[in-house]
A and B are shown apart, each in its own frame.
Chain A
Amino acid sequence: DAKTTQPTSMDCAEGRAANLPCNHSTISGNEYVYWYRQIHSQGPQYIIHGLKNNETNEMASLIITEDRKSSTLILPHATLRDTAVYYCIVRLLSNDYKLSFGAGTTVTVRA
C-alpha cells in the first residue's frame, strides 16, 4: 500500500476554511484516497474518498492533484467540533483490504 505523509498538527480559525494536505507520491493507479477523522475518545468517522476527480460532500471537499501524488482535504467552514485527528489513507477497494492508520494530522480549531 502507498504510504502517506501528513503534517503532525495544524491550527485553524473557526469559520475559516481548513486545508489539510496529504502526500502519497507512491500511489498506484487503482488506489483511492480516503479521509477519516477521529474526535477525541470516539471511533473514526468516514469523511470522503476519491480516485482522480475532485469530490465534494456535505462534510468536505477533496482535491486530488492531476498526478495523484498529493491531495488536500478542505473543511469549508471549520467549527470547534471539527477539532480532531484527520487521517489520510490510500487504499484499494478489494474485499480483503484492512484499513491501517498512520499518525494523522491533529487539527485544532480555535475560536
Chain B
Amino acid sequence: GAVVSQHPSWVICKSGTSVKIECRSLDFQATTMFWYRQFPKQSLMLMATSNEGSKATYEQGVEKDKFLINHASLTLSTLTVTSAHPEDSSFYICSARVQRGRTYEQYFGPGTRLTVT
C-alpha cells in the first residue's frame, strides 16, 4: 500500500516551453501532496505544499507563477514548469501524505527527470 506514481519519469523539452508532471496516489487518498526539487549531488528541497481544492503554498524563493501546482482531486496533483529554461533542469519528486492512525506519513514518488535544452 501507499504507492505514489509520477508521470513522466523523464522528459526533455526545449527552452521556453512548458512541461506538466503528474503525481498520483494509487491506493490511497491524499489531501496533501508535496513537491520537491533535487539538483545533482544535492539534497531534496521542498518547493511547495499542495492541498486538494485550494491554492498551493510555496516555499520562500520558489516562483509560484513559474511552477504552477494544481491539486484537482484526492489522488492527483500536477506541477507545470512554465517557460522552462536550462536552469530548471532537475529531478522533481512528489510526495503524498496520508493519515495512519494518529500519525501522518509521507510517501514519495519515483521522481521525474527534467532536462531543458
Contacts and interface: CB of A to CB of B under 8 A. Distances in A.
A102 B46 CA distance: 11
A93 B104 contact: yes
Interface residues of B, number: 26
A44 B104 contact: no
A99 B113 CA distance: 21
Contacts of A98: 34, 46, 49
Interface residues of A, number: 20
A101 B104 contact: no
B104 A94 contact: yes
B11 interface: no
A102 B104 CA distance: 20
Interface of B: 4, 6, 32, 34, 36, 43-46, 49, 91, 93, 95, 97, 99, 102-111, 113
Interface of A: 38, 41-46, 85, 87, 93-95, 97-104
A38 B91 CA distance: 13
Nearest to B31: A95
Contacts of B4: 43
Contacts of A85: 43
A100 B45 CA distance: 7
A103 B103 contact: no
